[in-house]
Amino acid sequence: MRRALVLRGAALVALTVVLGARAIDSDVYEGGEAREALVAREMLDTGDWILPLWNGSVVPSKPPLFHWLVASGSRLAGGQVTARTLRAPSVVLAAAVVLLVFLAGLAWGGTDVGTFAALVLATAPQFLTEAGDGRVDMTLTAALTGAQVALVQALGVRRGARLVLAVCLALAMLAKGPVGPGVVGLTALAFAACERRLRPVLGLVRPLPVLLFIVLAGGWYGLAYAHRGMDFVAKQILSENGEALLGSSRFPYRSPLYYVGPLVLGGLPWVLVAPWAAARAWRGELPRRYVLVWVATVGLFFSLAPLKRAAYLLPLRPALALLVGWWLAEVMREEEPATKLVGAARTLALAVAAGALLAAVSALAVGHGLVSTAGLRDVALAPQAHRSPEPAHGRRGDPLHLLRRPPRAAHHRPAGGSRRGVLRPGPATLARVGPAPRLGGGAAEWARLLAPPTRPRPRAAAGRGATLDSRRVWRRGVPLRRPPQVPRARAASGDATAGEARVDRGPGAEAAPPAAARRRNRGVALLPSLTSSRGTRWRAPRRRPPRPRARRTT
């Protein structure tokens, strides 16, 4: 029996490591990851393991527990901070959290509860995403999960649980500051209020655990203050914690309902059965009720805080996994037929699980190089493929793919990978051009391809010059992004160059100021970057002069 449990726990840990480390070697392009890597590198270069200044002048915004792990792993791996050594601590700690959830479920509800809870956590999309992120959030989650589990064990009068609770609270303090112990304390007080029993919670405060917490966490804070003085207090205490809890003008306002979307999307498909799991948990035993209060307290605390990030929901995921895993284990044990509502919920959960499994398999295939992203994109865009008419260069019939409803932030990209003349899209977005370096056909042909059938064809109008310069094209009253200006001597030749097309001057275009042109050209569609060898002339639409009204004679 014990051997089977060990093998099951090892399999869950291995699954978490494989899924969490799928992007461990990808390039570091996120600002948060780069900052943590710089702090760890300064520790190795300067030997200052208390509070190093990254780039020689900036005080780190987070306590050093995560940086210690990164620097230690980098020293063992060769002395250089790399993308792998930066993200490896998060992957290892994610596996530790899954193992901890498995052991907690095993102790509180049995083998089935522990297994289901660990599987739910190891396959949650947000948990896997944060497992491969080189930031402090997974470190905080591991410390908080250990503290919450130790607190439940201490409420059950387990010997040594108070000391484990003190160590985990100190690690949470060293991971991200006072927010860690604060969340655990709020959860304990909320549970005491729900149970109407404050004495057991207050009984956890004993001299030895408190002294251990002060030595572990307070020791570093004292050294950091002696090392950097008020710069440390202003950065980590006042700015990172005080402003995040009390609000600041540098934080954008976000609704208290901001976390609803990330909570659901980051927990699919298991989060769909959370309401039924919560209803059963409220009538369950003490550990199960505490897990429910844990979920509610963490969610409410971060929803009311002014600073909001989707990663702040990570400490809630282990509790939610225990809640759902407990419900799944009970449902599997039941022999009576399920109600129609539960049957529908099961069907929906299975359908979403199948989709999530397909997405996970696709992501793993792409991550390991079995399938290219270009191939997936070609398959997805195949129904919308069009043929370009008579390309000036390249093979005849190179595919031109169009997206009919582009995202608002999408941009045109010229064929061949050049960024010259990149503009904001109009009615449709040029998603991909075939392997030909350039496609011709004239400006009119480009406009015809870019105009969806449900909308009128794009119109173009000129400002002062004899060419339609994209510097003078507006869309809905807003000037478009301006590419480099082409010399007029070159524009006078027979070819239309990138970001520019030949046009005839419209009426009033000779002396029209930009404001007047902006009013006149509202709704002007975008000309993509193009290279045409046919010199097609683009005639601006001419407006008819208003008819003179006949004066009435009396």
Label each residue of 256-298 as H, E or C: HHHHHHHHHHCCCCHHHHHHHHHHHHCCCCHHHHHHHHHHHHH
pTM: 0.61
CA 501 – CA 537 distance, rounded (Å): 7
Would you say residue 375 lies in a domain? no
278 & 427 share domain: no
CA 187 – CA 291 distance, rounded (Å): 9
pLDDT computed for residue 550 by the predictor: 64
165 & 238 share domain: yes
pLDDT tens across the length of the chain (554 residues): 688 888 888 999 999 998 888 878 787 777 778 888 888 888 888 888 888 887 777 788 888 899 999 999 998 888 888 888 999 999 999 999 999 999 999 989 888 889 999 999 998 988 988 888 888 999 999 999 999 999 999 887 777 889 999 999 999 999 988 888 999 999 999 998 888 888 888 888 888 989 999 999 888 888 888 888 887 887 777 777 776 677 666 667 777 888 888 888 888 888 888 888 888 888 888 888 999 999 999 989 888 888 788 888 899 999 999 999 998 888 887 755 556 666 667 667 666 766 666 666 666 655 555 555 555 555 454 444 444 344 333 333 333 333 333 344 334 444 444 333 333 333 333 333 333 333 334 444 444 444 444 544 444 333 333 333 333 344 444 444 444 444 443 433 444 333 333 333 444 444 444 444 444 444 333 333 333 334 444 455 566 677 776 666 65
197 & 308 share domain: yes
Would you say residue 281 lies in a domain? yes
191 & 295 share domain: yes
Would you say residue 553 lies in a domain? no
430 & 514 share domain: yes
Would you say residue 40 lies in a domain? yes
Would you say residue 356 lies in a domain? no
Q: Which of 307, 334, 361 is the last residue of a domain?
A: 334
Would you say residue 543 lies in a domain? no
Range of the domain at 200: 2-334
pLDDT computed for residue 319 by the predictor: 92
Would you say residue 342 lies in a domain? no
pLDDT computed for residue 489 by the predictor: 39
179 & 269 share domain: yes
Would you say residue 56 lies in a domain? yes
268 & 405 share domain: no
Closest Cα to residue 89, out of 149, 171, 6, 148?
171
- Residues contacting 239, CB < 8 A, separation 6+: 61
125 & 54 share domain: yes
10 & 150 share domain: yes
411 & 321 share domain: no
End-to-end CA distance of the chain: 111
424 & 328 share domain: no
Number of domains in the chain: 2
294 & 231 share domain: yes
